[in-house]
Amino acid sequence: MKEIFDAVNQVFDFVVPIADFLWGFPTNFDWYASIPILGNLSFAIVILIGSGIFFSIKTGFIQVTHFRKGLRILIDRKTAAVGITPLAAFFLSSAMRVGPGNIMGVTGAIAVGGPGALFWMWVSAFFGMATAFMEATLAQIFKERKGDELVGGLPFYGKKVMGNRAWVGVLLSCIFILYAMFCLPAQAFNVFSSVGSVAEIITGETFSRTSMLYCITGILLIGGTTFFAFGGIHKITAVTDKMVPVMAVIYCGTVLLIALLNIGTIPYFFGAVFGGAFTPEAVFGGFFGTALAQGVKRGLMSNEAGQGTITMSAAASDAEHPCEQGVVQALGVFLDTMVVCTLSGFIVVMAHLWSADPAAWEGLKTQQLPLYLASITSLTPGSGADSLVTLLISVCYGLFAYTCIVGFIIFAEIAANRISRKRPFIYFVRILGALVFIPFGVLSVMAGLELGNLWYISDLGNIIIVYCNLPVLFVGANMPSVPHGISRKKTVHPLPPMLWAFPAIIGMKRRKKKVDLKNRETLGVFS
């Protein structure tokens, strides 16, 4: 078995330098790297944050002016005649955004760039909210109806925006499906890590990866994933509607409790974050550009604003106006980075192991999860409290990973509809995720391997999707006229250019739908 997995790792060796090059370009050239500050920022980071700034200005800072509007939409107790409600779409997108990266990504960013990286995470998230608004609005405009569901997202609006070319939609669908599938084994590993940690805390024993506990976990993970994958988007949202609030409350409540127990260090937290944003400590390299680069990269890749990978959930919503789901998805970025990532940063910065326990810091700074748990331990008084808090965090970590798994599978299925809506093909995508890639991840764990190269495949997929999505956003934002709500009678509700006439489009007045849903074949697509 080990020989098989070693061979898999070797097959994917070629991915590592490609992913590093694309993410680092052009910082991997000496002439660019020598430029002060800018030399630490890759092209990917520049265009992501630059797009956020551009869309923020052009929309009149929609993330500020319509923040309360988004909250009102979420608490509106409406039912969906077709598709899912805006709130359900919000929970579905949060299931993908709020994942293990909210712990490991933040910890890694601080370990490399210092506490100031958290400040730049906030900056990137603020502007990323505008980008998320744009891509979610486009997803709404070009969504399509499939039975009692709504499907859409990057492959759908990419096809329409780029001249209604079918091959564009197919290509974007294939890229996303492959990206989602190769992310599944890593998330399966995270589930096992959580279960192992919980079992160790409860029993005081360390379980081997070939133990009965891991075997049962693997069977339950495959069975549970298969059950929900074949249930369609409604069954998935039934899960995320319950799991997302639970894991958010448990995680946020636990971290807030730790913060209250260490309230005396809160001033240190803010001082370290704001001070380190511009003058990082020498232990982190002491370079301003390092903190900026780490914060922007980790922040944007945590909330996924600009990647187009969350747009499938936005399209699934039966929103009354395209922009309504846009502001809702902007709130998702706020929740992910401003709330969850900030709370994770609280733990690492308030513990400040780099000065409080330098030996422990040197031993753990490259291991994100152990470093995070060590930070929790240092802030929690008493062994009993340590165990309880670590237990709660480990449970949340497992929930984060599992919601990502079901999210990846359902989003891959939605993307697959752009290629074909025939049942055998959709079943093939479900089987590929639940009965091929999840078992592959389970077997890799039980074989004692982590398959690190799969993480690089995920990174490669991320950067490719970014380079595909952002040009589409700029083209779509400047379309002269966008049809919305086309029926069999070709009824068209024109929308003005999304950027240049924004005062008109973001009025978001609730309008009565004149088109009978029973007779509507597609929503927001060209005839």
What's the pLDDT score for residue 521?
A: 35
Secondary structure in 3-state letters for 440-456: HHHHHHHCCCCCCHHHH
510: pLDDT strictly greater than 60: no
pLDDT tens, position by position, 74-91:
777 666 666 677 777 787
Looking at the chain, the whole-number percentage of residues with pLDDT higher than 90 is: 5
pLDDT-wise least confident of 289-303, 305-319, 390-404, 485-499: 485-499
What's the pLDDT score for residue 512?
A: 39
- For residues 52 and 367, the model is more confident at 52
Distance separating alpha carbons of residues 381 and 258, to the nearest angstrom: 10
Looking at the chain, the whole-number percentage of residues with pLDDT higher than 70 is: 83
497: pLDDT strictly greater than 80: no
Q: Are 390 and 404 in contact (CB under 8 A)?
A: no
The residue-averaged pLDDT of 80-107 equals 75
The residue-averaged pLDDT of 173-200 equals 87
Question: Which stretch, 174-178, 259-263, 482-486, 487-491, has highest mean pLDDT?
Answer: 174-178
Going along the chain from its start, the domains and CATH numbers come out as 2-519 (1.10.4160)
The residue-averaged pLDDT of 271-293 equals 75
215: pLDDT strictly greater than 60: yes
Q: Are 443 and 3 in contact (CB under 8 A)?
A: no
What's the pLDDT score for residue 11?
A: 61
The residue-averaged pLDDT of 390-410 equals 85
Tokens 């989003």 locate to 411
The mean predicted confidence, pLDDT, of the chain is 78
What's the pLDDT score for residue 173?
A: 92
397: pLDDT strictly greater than 70: yes
pLDDT tens, position by position, 464-494:
888 889 998 888 877 654 444 333 333 333 4
The residue-averaged pLDDT of 333-345 equals 88
**Cα maximum dimension of the chain:** 72
Identify whether 26 is preceded by a cis peptide bond (ω within 30 of 0): yes
Taking the model in full, what pTM does it have?
Answer: 0.83
